[in-house]
Structure 1
Amino acid sequence: MERYILTIDSGTSNTRAVLWDLDRHVVDMEKSGVGVRCTAADGHNGRLKEAVRGCLEELLRRNAASWEQVERVMASGMITADVGLVEVPHVTAPAGLEELSASLAPVLVPDVCPLPIHFIPGVKNRVSGVSLETFEAMDIMRGEEVEACALIDRLGVRGEAVLVLPGSHTKFVCVGADGRITGCLTTITGELLASIMHDTIIADSVKRTFVEADTYRREMVLRGYRAAREVGLSRACFSGRILNQFAVKDHTLIANFILGAALQNDLYALRHSTAIACGPDARVIVAGKSPFREAFADLMEREGCWRSVRSYEPEGGAPLSALGAYLLAEASLAKEAGKKGK
């Protein structure tokens, strides 16, 4: 009889579930347009529970599988926060597969599935007492820790590294020489860009559109980056409007300029924040979707502050978050098997 592992990843807007066999092969995937934002809006997690249950049941139905064939159900992301299904405390860095698997929270949620769901904790920076003097050193993540585990495994990361995970919130995850997460740094650049592109005077200059993979222009991104480095983000953004009125009529080029200006803030934070400390010997690995991936890689390579810069392009199949959750399922099952063998 075929055996399976189920992984769940719930974010702000979506929930994804993946059905795996025990040889790291993706059997099937299911997605719902319900995330923890619904819990915040509704004041309860009823819709989230229905979405998770629906995804899991659909995967089993579509593949003629039963719950008796499921070895483990794993959950990561904001589903482990107070607006998710079960709130799980963060693990304190440094943390890797061993620490995360040892801190899994198996909880039976009967109106979601008949098996315990193993909730994966997020990771927080090691700061003894957060105060007005130390707050900048603190950072947290939920979901990115499994993406980091997947990248470390898939790319065979050895030695100090910085993992760049762009999105609505960009995460810079620092990895130590032993392959464990030593800390993270978060910015809200994705949200800032959305506001700049849609809700400011710059919206007309970019036609309320973002840079896409086929409209990415490296030179304009670098120009925006340099402008923000010299005069700050606010002035650089207005300079995009000046460019559009007097020199550059193509709105996609202005969007590239604004993208570069916004990302300058991120790289400034990476070099100056006390939240993480990765030196010049660190290797940089940039994941995420295009064009953020290309822009970060181009800018960080141009800066020349790190040992090397590499882009990771997804090969299709399950997202990194699902692979990371699967790796933790493997680790926890192996640990249980080891205990039984003694």
Structure 2
Amino acid sequence: MIAPQKSNDLIVCADWGTSSLRIYLVDLLDGTIIDSFSNDQGILSTFQQWQKDPGADRKIFYRNKLQLALDQLSVGASIIGIPLIASGMAGSSIGIQPIDYSPLPFDLNRGVMGYHFFEATIEHSNPLWILSGLEKPGDVMRGEEVQAMGWWSHFGKSGLHVLVLPGTHSKHLWIQDGVLVDFHSYFTGELYRLLLDHSILKPSVKEVHADDQIASRAFLRGLDASSNHHLLQELFRIRAKSVQQHLNAGNLPHYLSGLLIGSELRSLNDLISGETVHLAAGSSLIKWYLKALDHLGFENRINWAPGQIDQFTLTGQIQAWKRL
């Protein structure tokens, strides 16, 4: 199917991740965000809901979820017909429709991503483009490559750089002169939630608002424990420390966070040799990653403000859409 001509001055950008959906109405001329909406209807929960309704058409079910979010934009009916571009997990095996990954290397300046196009319908008011992700042997990503495109348009300096994108599945991207040449993925965020919610650690957890200094000390203890390089052993030691009352319930989440983030960043430290490290994280994670990078001695780095990660996503989506 051939997509229609793209002549609008507005676009709706959807960042549909594993755990959340964020949509933005954006002015294509100057990049201004006109309106936005977000909820916790990520791809994983949407997929699980669809599995419980075996008679539902998968594409319609997912597009209905998107439409409910679109309806929340304050401009309402005025967005009918405006192009909608989605990145992230929308094109994954648990998304609307699986889309083949594009290979490495990927030119952030001129690269054209794979996509699938859905026409607007009576029920679904916007034509929809779903972007593919990138792959290499043994690793895949969806969404972070779009953030990298947006980041590069803001940074754009030659040399070898490592872009660190924390999240449910953290990514470390190697970018040489504007070409994404390699990346590594980490289960950091998802493992954190799994262990707190579904493991033997759960009875020991008391997620309370801890004093910043106390929380920081627990986090740093976890960071130091990650130097052991025996993560499975250290995870059980959290249970032992709790039982033996060497780690109280309120501090356990911070200690675990330090252990997991420390394990992730020590892996990065083993791979770099002078590259500039760029940290681009949201507001909920940047404090802890900054603390970890400082504690572990990452000196050659650039820290991007939390609000910029959303702008990177939007800029990258618009660039990707214009190249289709």
- State the TM bucket, normalised to the shorter chain: 0.7 to 0.9
Match of 1:226 in 2: 224
Match of 1:189 in 2: 188
After superposition, the Cα gap between the structure-2 partners of 1:302 and 1:105, relative to the gap in structure 1 and judged at 3 Å, is: same
1:261 pairs with 259, 283, 296, which one?
A: 259
SS for the counterpart of 2:149 is: helix
Q: Does structure 1 residue 117 correspond to structure 2 residue 128?
A: yes
SS for the counterpart of 1:85 is: coil
After superposition, the Cα gap between the structure-2 partners of 1:56 and 1:231, relative to the gap in structure 1 and judged at 3 Å, is: closer
SS for the counterpart of 2:121 is: coil
Deviations 1:95-148 (A, max 9, x none): 1345543544444253664554222220112x4xxxxxxxxxx21101111122
2:21 pairs with 15, 21, 29, which one?
A: 15
Q: Does structure 1 residue 62 correspond to structure 2 residue 65?
A: no
**Pairs within 5 Å for 1:311-326:** 311-315=303-307, 318=310, 320-326=312-318
Q: Does structure 1 residue 34 correspond to structure 2 residue 41?
A: yes
What is the alpha-carbon distance in structure 2 between the residues aligned to residue 106 and residue 332 of structure 1?
14
Match of 1:133 in 2: none
After superposition, the Cα gap between the structure-2 partners of 1:118 and 1:215, relative to the gap in structure 1 and judged at 3 Å, is: farther
Please give the TM-score of this superposition, normalised by the length of structure 2: 0.79
Match of 1:48 in 2: 62
**Are the counterparts in 2 of residues 6 and 19 from structure 1 also a CA contact under 8 Å?**
yes
**Are the counterparts in 2 of residues 211 and 255 from structure 1 also a CA contact under 8 Å?**
no
Match of 1:144 in 2: 144
SS for the counterpart of 1:110 is: coil
Residue 244 of structure 1, CA deviation: 4.9
SS for the counterpart of 2:184 is: strand
Aligned residues: 310
What is the alpha-carbon distance in structure 1 between the residues aligned to residue 103 and residue 309 of structure 2?
31
Residue 76 of structure 1, CA deviation: 0.7
Residue 80 of structure 1, CA deviation: 1.3
What is the alpha-carbon distance in structure 1 between the residues aligned to residue 47 and residue 203 of structure 2?
34
Please give the TM-score of this superposition, normalised by the length of structure 1: 0.75
Residue 20 of structure 1, CA deviation: 0.7
Q: Runs of 5+ in structure 1 lacking a partner? A: 128-137, 273-277, 334-342
After superposition, the Cα gap between the structure-2 partners of 1:82 and 1:308, relative to the gap in structure 1 and judged at 3 Å, is: same
SS for the counterpart of 2:78 is: coil
Match of 1:167 in 2: 167
SS for the counterpart of 1:192 is: helix
Match of 2:94 in 1: 83
**Are the counterparts in 2 of residues 197 and 210 from structure 1 also a CA contact under 8 Å?**
no
Match of 1:236 in 2: 234
What is the alpha-carbon distance in structure 2 between the residues aligned to residue 318 and residue 257 of structure 1?
28
Q: Runs of 5+ in structure 2 lacking a partner? A: 1-7, 52-57
Deviations 1:158-211 (A, max 9, x none): 4222222222211112212x222222211212222223323444334441x288
Q: Does structure 1 residue 300 correspond to structure 2 residue 293?
A: yes
What is the alpha-carbon distance in structure 2 between the residues aligned to residue 215 and residue 167 of structure 1?
24
SS for the counterpart of 1:65 is: helix
What is the alpha-carbon distance in structure 2 between the residues aligned to residue 104 and residue 249 of structure 1?
49
Match of 1:95 in 2: 106
SS for the counterpart of 1:168 is: coil
After superposition, the Cα gap between the structure-2 partners of 1:317 and 1:299, relative to the gap in structure 1 and judged at 3 Å, is: closer
After superposition, the Cα gap between the structure-2 partners of 1:35 and 1:195, relative to the gap in structure 1 and judged at 3 Å, is: closer
What is the alpha-carbon distance in structure 2 between the residues aligned to residue 175 and residue 327 of structure 1?
18
Which AA in structure 2 matches 1:145?
E
What is the alpha-carbon distance in structure 2 between the residues aligned to residue 47 and residue 32 of structure 1?
17
